[in-house]
Chains A and B, each alone.
Chain A
Amino acid sequence: MEMSLLFLYNGLGGMKKAFEILDHTADVGIIAYGTDVEELFSNAALALFSLITAPESVEEKLHLDLEVSSEDRDSLLVEWLNELIYLFDVKHILFNRFDIESLTHNQLKATCYGEDFDPMKHKIKIGVKAATYHMLKLDKDGDGYKAQIILDI
């Protein structure tokens, strides 16, 4: 398996990196960072949508409240991304901002902002089909947190 850094994305603050994209033989992975777990979850979602389309092409025209639950924090991250993949696949919504309102070890409440996919406006880069448990990692990283998730495309 080849793993290399494709690009770094710095959050709006410009100081801290928000996520990285990893190259994986059959698929693609993301490494998300956050000063806290909430930010980590938000950045992982941003990384996901940056793979699907150019984040700057997405405007905040609608918002959706989401609740996701799982068995533990690691699988909650996978389920969170899978919920967003599902919403894009079925409802064709692209998101570019995520407010994580509450987060426990197995439950998450968030408001997601974005707009309906418009083929005239948004160029779809790849179709992400699932977030996997493969090589899944969520750890403390210095003062903050870091997570690795492989996506099936």
Chain B
Amino acid sequence: MARWQGQLIKIDDYRWEIPQNYKTGMRVPGLIYASRKMLESICEEQTPEQVANVAFLPGIVGYSFAMPDIHWGYGFPIGGVAAMDIKDGVVSPGGVGYDINCGVRLLRTSLSEAEVRPKINELINALFRNVPSGLGSEGKIKVSQKEMNQLMVEGALWAVKRGLGSEEDLDATEEGGCLSGADPSKISDKAVKRGMPQAGTLGSGNHFLEIQVVKEIFDSHIASIMGIDEIGQILVLIHTGSRGFGHQVCTDHLRVMEVAVSKYGIKLPDRQLACAPIGSSEGQAYLAAMACAANYAWVNRQCIAHWARESFSKVFGKSPEALGIKQIYDVAHNIAKIEEHTIDGRKLKVCVHRKGATRAFPAGHKDIPKHYKEVGQPVLVPGDMGRCSFVAVGTQKAMSESFGSTCHGAGRVLSRGAAKRSMKGRDIARELESRGITIKAGNIPSLAEEASQAYKDINEVIDVVHQAGISRKVAMAIPMGVIKG
């Protein structure tokens, strides 16, 4: 695909504007957070065109934002943030993505690298047995249709009530692990059938469970509030979403939106941007269904975190409490939410679409747990399996500038096919092993698709959001053991 040739105006070293007059029909300008170096690679694809296309959507306010990990997506770019006025704006399933509430959960432990290293194989094997993963994997929990309806409404609480975790976990989860407004009557029979057997499974593709070692602490005060106390400490990161359930919800509602676009006379530059007014029956139905899928994903991560704790407990012969295992936080990377923001000095209710982006609320915000009130909401940014992951916090700058949003990860640069070709003949599992990373995967050939070369360097992504001030880095950890589907 051709290089993007559009116009970009440099605001500062980390902000680049696509002016509103770049394309007739843009309602706001676009804004890309990137270093000059990253911008080069971003413009190698038509991704900035997608940022401009999102600016066409009715009711969009401020900017059509792109985070530094931005890459080409369906309609909306991945790494995009767009806020629509709830009075005259639209909601778009494409602005959330197929894997609704794909997100990450981070646990801390009191274990050290020295204690875990000798048992890493045993631990990875225990996790692989305990956490259902892989293509078509089915859960250990059997969910009936009736339970499915409860799960969609209750979110992570549903799992906690069944002994999978504690109230404390809910407090350390975005939205308390339950997005309000979920309505199972807006969910198709097909989605329920796809969702029932897959509840409590990790899935495949880029989803993983990782044992990490803290390598660097940038802000020891904030880190200690999170329970990250020293270099060498062991963390556990879980990355998964709403599986086939979320995909079916998105597919079903995109179809409804296809019809709504002509019904409401909305002009779009790309069919995949299909949307409906937020207040319309179609818009409300999507938001109610999306909440069901978001809650399903939180149940998923809640169950997996519990089984991870059990695995540690078994391998080390101590209770999870004795091992100091506690949830640091859980964030959504693909979601749309009704939030209040201040735009040009006036308070406005908007529907913030975050597709491959993380909420990054500042210290003092009413929607963050008491525990983090003083420092800001934890932001969890996983890298690829060969590099590292970051923990950051939200800032006031994010609140005033990017609708309280920041980046979500590394972002792909190579297609799966290209990644596979570039790794041909190489044994990725062995290469990782030689660097001290033990990996167990259900599908070894697909490991190549997730190799480091396929992703942007997470260090550059984090530097941009840190320098731009839309989040503040707290700690960095590297992988030691990974399980993948």
On A, residues with C-beta under 8 Å from B are: 1-4, 6, 23-28, 70-71, 75, 79, 82, 86, 89-90, 92, 117, 124-127, 129-130, 132-134, 136, 150, 152-153
Contacts and interface: CB of A to CB of B under 8 A. Distances in A.
Given A2-B414, A127-B204, A132-B74, A25 B244 contact: no
In the complex, the 6 A-B pairs of residues with the closest C-beta atoms, listed nearest first: A23-B417, A134-B74, A134-B272, A127-B135, A23-B415, A129-B247
B136 A89 contact: yes
A1 B247 contact: no
14 contacts: A1-B45, A2-B414, A2-B415, A2-B418, A23-B416, A24-B72, A25-B45, A25-B413, A71-B258, A86-B194, A86-B248, A124-B135, A130-B251, A153-B416
Contacts of B414: 2, 25
B73 interface: yes
Given A1-B72, A25-B413, A125-B445, 16 more contacts: A1-B45, A1-B46, A23-B417, A25-B415, A70-B255, A79-B255, A90-B190, A92-B136, A129-B99, A130-B98, A132-B74, A132-B98, A133-B274, A150-B74, A152-B74, A152-B247
A148 B247 CA distance: 20
Contacts of B78: 26
Nearest to B203: A127
Interface residues of B, number: 43
B114 interface: no
A20 B406 CA distance: 38
B271 interface: yes
Contacts of A23: 415-418
Contacts of B205: 127, 153
Interface string B376-420: 000000000000000000000000000000000000111111100
B259 interface: yes
Contact of B72 (A25, A117, A125, A127): A25
Nearest to B248: A86
B193 interface: yes
Contacts of A126: 135, 416, 446
Contacts of B270: 134
Contacts of A70: 255
B255 A75 contact: yes
Given A25-B415, A89-B244, A134 B75 contact: yes
B72 A152 contact: no
A27 B206 CA distance: 12
A4 B72 contact: no
Contacts of A117: 136
A3 B2 CA distance: 10
Given A1-B1, A25-B72, A129 B258 contact: no
Nearest to A126: B446
A26 B136 CA distance: 20
A138 to B, nearest CB: 12
